[in-house]
Homo-oligomer: A and B are copies of this chain.
């Protein structure tokens, strides 16, 4: 029985996906809003949102012609906290800070 948990971390290990996640921490956003906030290309954001959705790191809902993306906070927020704690302990503000 093979361990594939590392797949999950793939998403958090990508700067674009990570930025999207961070943007969604405060409130849910439409694709256009994410694009505007991150100043990134539309298809780039869409591709990244797709895999985040497949992994259930975010959830989508349709509202008219928009798609609203929401963060799965249960999993992601504590995970980010763990890294922050790790960084405080080991990195002295140098590596994984935010």
- Name the residue of chain B whose CB is nearest to the CB of A12: B9
Contact B7 A95 (CB under 8 A): yes
**Residue tally, chain A, CB below 8 Å to B:** 39
State in angstroms the CA–CA spacing of A5 and B76 once bound together: 12
C-alpha gap A85/B95 in the complex (Å): 28
Q: Contact at B5–A87, with CB atoms within 8 Å?
A: yes
CA distance A84 to B8 in the complex (A): 10
| Residues in A75-91 with C-beta less than 8 Å from chain B | 75, 78-80, 82-87, 89-91
A12-B13, A96-B8 given; A82·B86 CB < 8 A: no
Distance A91 CA – B72 CA, assembled complex (angstroms): 14
What's the nearest-Cβ distance from chain B to residue A58, in Å?
Answer: 12
Q: Could you name 6 residue pairs across A and B whose Cβ atoms are closer than 8 Å? A: A7-B95, A8-B87, A9-B9, A72-B86, A75-B83, A75-B85
